[in-house]
Every structure is written in C-alpha cells, then in structure tokens.
Amino acid sequence: MAKSVKTNRFYVVLGVIALAGGAAIFWSRGDRGAQSGTLKPLEGSSAGAEAMPGYVVGSDSAKLEVLEYADFQCPACRMFTIITKPDVDERLVKPGLIRWRFRDRPLDGHAKSPVAHHAAACAGEQGKFWSMHDQLYLNQSDWVGGGTEKKIRSYAEKAGVDLAKYDECMKSQRYRARLAASAEQATAQGITSTPTFVFGPRMVSGALAYDALKAIVDSILGQKKAA
C-alpha cells in the first residue's frame, strides 16, 4: 500500500515536470522569427557608418532604403535570406520600391563569422559580394562545422572570384578593422541581434516574414506619400 502511494506520488511529480517542460517549450515558440515586426527607434548615432557602407542592390531612385544588419553565421539570417529575400528582391527591389543595403554585423558569440565576413568583403573587391553572400548562407551548416577557411575559399571559387587576389586579400586582413567598426557602430545604435532591419530612424529585429516586411514598407511609403 505504502509502495503504491509512493509510486503514485512519483507519477504526479513526473507529470508536473512534463507539464512544466512542455509549457516552457510551447512558450518559447512565441518569438518564432518575428513574424510581425514591431518597429522601435534606433539608439545613439550612426557616426562611423561610412567606414563600412555595405553592399547595395536596387535603384538609386527608390523611395526607401532598407538596411539589413546580418551575420553570416546566424541561422535566422540564413532563414531570412533563403526563404524571404528572394520575394523581397522580386517584388520590392526589382520594381524599384526599395533599395536594399547589407551591412556586416558579426556577432561576438560566432567564432567563424569574422572569416566569413572578411571573405565576403574580399569577394566584394571583385564585384562578387552578392554571389559570395549567397554561397555563405546556402552552405552555412557546412562551413561552421570545421575546415572553415578552406571551405569558404571553395565557395569563393564557385562565386567566380579570382583566387589569387582573394588569397592576397584574406592574408592581408585589410577589412578586419572596418568589419569590427561596422559591428561597433551597430552596437552603438542598439543593434545587438541579427538580422536587424533598419527603416530610416527605426528598426526591427528577427527574420521577418515577407508580409510583415511589406507591411512596414507600405506604411512608410504611405506616410511619405501623404506628407
């Protein structure tokens, strides 16, 4: 009898642990990729942003520039680039509604990020930044696992980069200071996670879904039209 009571109590304890754990996991679903982005104001100043202006696609005459701060080792950035960015390019950038600027925001905890960002900058010297950008995100799970420099070099080759110039650039580490400055400038503006999107004086963090991003763009362009 006593044994049965003890066993029953144990099942209750087990059930409580299961419920608490299940609830915690369910609760953590809440911030799934910032499906509906809430804009908040940028902090500090953008002084120093010109040190690393980033990489731009889209028309100079576009009414709005969207600034993306991203880390090549960040899975949410990868998710955004693979799932959402093609729609953004096709439906917002190509028709000339927005201009897109990528700015480096290597995060401190990501040990392989500096190499990836430097490699992208070296590819950028040869006008191949976006090809390298795509290669790095598509192969993210591969190069974060080891043999990083060798693998990233092979992506540079796939992206059509002149490897002799690439090797010289990587060896020189000439973008290291500028990349660090870009990260510091982002931190000064309160951009501490990636991806973060900046729309003028406001920003939103998380891998936005296309509809959420489009809603923000529409609302800003609508305000500009009304003004």
Partner 1 sequence: MVIATLALIGLLIATYLWLWKIGVVGHIICGSGGCEVVQTSTYATFLGLPVALIGVVGYLTLLIVSLVGIQPRWIDHPGPTRLMAVLSGLGAAFAIYLTYLEYAVIEAWCRWCVGSAVIICAIFLTAILGMRGAKRTG
Q: Compute how many other C-beta atoms are within 10 angstroms of the C-beta atom of residue 210.
A: 17
Strands 55-57, 98-104: parallel, antiparallel or unpaired by DSSP? antiparallel
Q: Specify the stretch interacting with partner 1 by CB under 8 A; choose among 92-100, 104-112, 130-138, 180-188.
A: 104-112
Of the candidates 138, 136, 107, which has an alpha carbon nearest to the alpha carbon of residue 124?
A: 136
Judged by beta carbon, residue 113 or residue 185, the one nearer partner 1 is 113
Amino acid sitting at position 175: Y
Cβ at position 69, least distance to partner 1 in Å: 16
Q: Specify the stretch interacting with partner 1 by CB under 8 A; choose among 21-29, 44-52, 163-171, 219-227.
A: 21-29
Q: How far apart are CA 175 and CA 73, in angstroms?
A: 18
Q: How far apart are CA 137 and CA 120, in angstroms?
A: 11
Q: Compute how many other C-beta atoms are within 10 angstroms of the C-beta atom of residue 65.
A: 15
Count interface residues toward partner 1 (CB under 8 A).
Answer: 37
73 makes contact with partner 1 (CB under 8 A): yes
138 makes contact with partner 1 (CB under 8 A): no
Residues that bind partner 1 (CB under 8 A): 7, 10, 13-14, 17-18, 21-22, 24-25, 28-34, 73-76, 78-79, 107-112, 140-142, 144-146, 206-207
